[in-house]
Amino acid sequence: MADYKTYLASSILTEDKIVTYRLLSRALKVNVNAAKEMLYEFHREQNGRKPGTIHATYLISGTKRKEPEPTNGAAEQDGEDTHMQSSLYFSSSMPQPEESIEESGVLSITLVREENLEEVRSQYEHITSVHVYSIGPHQLKDLQILSDITRQVRELTADDDPIETASQYGTITNKNVRRRKGTRPPPAATPAPIPTKTAPTKPKQEVKTSIPPLKQEVSSTAKDFFGKSKATAAANTSSKDKATASNISKESTPNPPNLKRDNSSIFKSFAKAKPKLKREGTDSSAAADSPAISAAEDSPMKDVSDDEEETYVPPAPANTEIVAKSRRERKENEERLKKMMDMSDEEEDIKEETPIVEEKEKEKEASPEKEVVPVVSGERRRGRRRVMKKKTVKDEEGYLVTKEEPVWESFSEDEPAPAPKPKVHAPAASTKAKKGAAKQGQGSIMSFFGKK
């Protein structure tokens, strides 16, 4: 109880701080009312010794006199009442704005500086209570500074349970208060959810160890991309075709850079599983098992995806520990993968031949305004899509005019090179075209996941 003087002296005189009754009560764990008295006593003693060293603010409550009331309410109200609409159906009991809102019914609580205390007190008709609110070494220019003390109080009591400590400080307690049980305590003052590096590595590990089926599935698809690009080279597509291809929806694009981006965006949907999966793909084809290589592979992909708006979390460099731990598992996986790859490569080769022929035949019959109707032939989805083709014509004045024209072409999901048929001109209504494009995009994603 007596050490409040030491505390106040050190805070105010030495540390040049302002102390409110709440801060004092929290610091010394005393009742707020006792804290108010302590502030008063300290203020009186210090200023008794050396006037003007301590400046206080007071909190006054009571009823104010009517005249000096600064709010313009009363005057305005009278004016308003005169042109109040006299209503026929309201006239029976038009609300009489009760003038009982006179000042006697209002409890006015005013925070006031020591210097203005007398002035404010004279505005009060009846003062019900007054106490020292804060004391500090300087005269406060702006009382709003005191709101900062509340923050300090909050910090001081951050670890306390307000319900348990309430009676200690004299806060009104409530026995009916209900709180959710078992919930974690609210986050601290700065709940900055910064993604730490440890967070991404964990799910990665999980994926690796606990979900082998998913991994296989995805890695087999990853392989598909490689297979495709190989096939692209084999197809020996012209540069013109390549330009066309780049306009086609990304999922089935054989262009190498696009392929990479596809990888990254698809892998994004698998969250943090990405780097591992990527390596699985390379493991089997290039037999490269070092984390360094996989990291190197990751970085160009990151660059690509920088163009996109999605926030890309760069994968943490592969942990050697994890690698060592799961080496055995991986070897098993590799084994399985290799088997799968061999199998599907063969399948692919067989399949690749037939659809192209089919497609060509189809194109000849195709009517120009066709909607995209994905046809599932065997395991493959087929359909039509609209692409922009460059077309150069000589106009009346003999100039060469290059136009971009929408052209329909059919495609097959696993077609490496969508052999375009520029002869097919599509005047198609734009709405139809859009629909078609959307459908097509969906179809390709479905096949991506559906591939077994």
Residue 372: name the closest of 447, 438, 446 by CA: 438
Q: Which is nearer to other proteins, 422 or 441 (CB)?
A: 441
> Does 50 contact other proteins by CB under 8 A?
no
Q: Which is nearer to other proteins, 21 or 411 (CB)?
A: 21
- Min CB(143)–other proteins separation in Å: 5
Start-to-end CA distance of the chain, whole Å, equals 78
Cα 150 to Cα 137: distance, rounded to the nearest angstrom = 18
Q: Cα-Cα-Cα-Cα dihedral of 349, 355, 361, 364, to 10°? A: -110
> Does 67 contact other proteins by CB under 8 A?
no
> Does 162 contact other proteins by CB under 8 A?
yes
Q: Which of 15, 90, 197, 342 binds other proteins (CB under 8 A)?
A: 90
- Min CB(211)–other proteins separation in Å: 30
Can you tell me whether residue 444 is helix, strand or coil?
helix
The window from 178-186, 288-296, 406-414, 416-424 that contacts other proteins (CB under 8 A) reads: 178-186
- Min CB(328)–other proteins separation in Å: 42
Cα 156 to Cα 161: distance, rounded to the nearest angstrom = 12
- Min CB(125)–other proteins separation in Å: 12
Q: Which of 52, 186, 213, 378 binds other proteins (CB under 8 A)?
A: 186
- Min CB(332)–other proteins separation in Å: 42
Q: Which of 175, 394, 423, 452 binds other proteins (CB under 8 A)?
A: 175
- Min CB(37)–other proteins separation in Å: 4
Residue 389: name the closest of 404, 369, 374 by CA: 404
Q: 173 phi and psi, to 5 degrees?
A: -95, 160
| Cβ proximity of 293 and 282 under 8 Å | yes
> Does 135 contact other proteins by CB under 8 A?
no
- Min CB(343)–other proteins separation in Å: 41
Residues in binding contact with other proteins, number by CB under 8 A: 86
Q: Which is nearer to other proteins, 172 or 350 (CB)?
A: 172
Radius of gyration of the chain (CA): 39
> Does 82 contact other proteins by CB under 8 A?
no
| Cβ proximity of 134 and 12 under 8 Å | no
Cα 441 to Cα 374: distance, rounded to the nearest angstrom = 11
Task: Write out the H or E segment, with its range, that includes residue 58.
Answer: strand 55-64
Residue 358: name the closest of 420, 436, 410, 423 by CA: 410
Q: Which of 88, 194, 350, 400 binds other proteins (CB under 8 A)?
A: 88
Residues in the chain: 452
> Does 46 contact other proteins by CB under 8 A?
no
> Does 170 contact other proteins by CB under 8 A?
yes
> Does 180 contact other proteins by CB under 8 A?
yes
Task: Write out the H or E segment, with its range, that includes residue 131.
Answer: strand 124-136
> Which token pair is 417?
């090179």
> Which token pair is 168?
């200690």
Q: Which is nearer to other proteins, 73 or 378 (CB)?
A: 73
Cα 250 to Cα 238: distance, rounded to the nearest angstrom = 19
Name which of residues 359 to 418 contact other proteins (CB under 8 A): none
> Does 152 contact other proteins by CB under 8 A?
no
Name which of residues 91 to 120 contact other proteins (CB under 8 A): 93-98, 101, 105-114, 116, 119-120
Q: Which is nearer to other proteins, 38 or 304 (CB)?
A: 38
Q: Which is nearer to other proteins, 31 or 246 (CB)?
A: 31
Q: Which of 7, 17, 137, 146 binds other proteins (CB under 8 A)?
A: 146
Q: 410 phi and psi, to 5 degrees?
A: -95, 160
Cα 379 to Cα 343: distance, rounded to the nearest angstrom = 15
The window from 72-80, 237-245, 286-294, 389-397 that contacts other proteins (CB under 8 A) reads: 72-80
